[in-house]
Amino acid sequence: MAYIISDDCIGCGACEGECPVSAISEGDGKYVINADECLDCGACAGVCPVGAPQAE
């Protein structure tokens, strides 16, 4: 299952640079993960200061 970014996202962008397949991009008010590209590796969750990326 792909990760999703919850509404807890503060828009810092830490997760975007950590994604090995560039599946994360800036959305409308928060970052979003392209589920078709997500490897479910959890790298984004490991760097997020508020725990916004979560396994779906």
Reported as a single tens digit per residue, the pLDDT across 20-40 is: 999 999 999 999 999 999 999
Give pTM, 2 decimals: 0.92
CA distance readout (Å), 54 to 2, 14, 43: 9, 15, 11
The SS3 assignment for 54 reads: strand
Res. 1: pLDDT tops 90: no
41: containing domain: 3-55
Res. 56: pLDDT tops 90: no
Structural domain count of the chain: 1
**CATH number assigned to the domain comprising residue 48:** 3.30.70.20
Q: Is residue 53 within a helix (H) or strand (E), and if so which, with residue range?
A: strand 53-55
Q: Which pLDDT does position 13 carry in this prediction?
A: 97
Distance CA 16, CA 6 (A): 14
Burial class (CB in 10 A: 0-12, 13-18, 19+), 23: buried
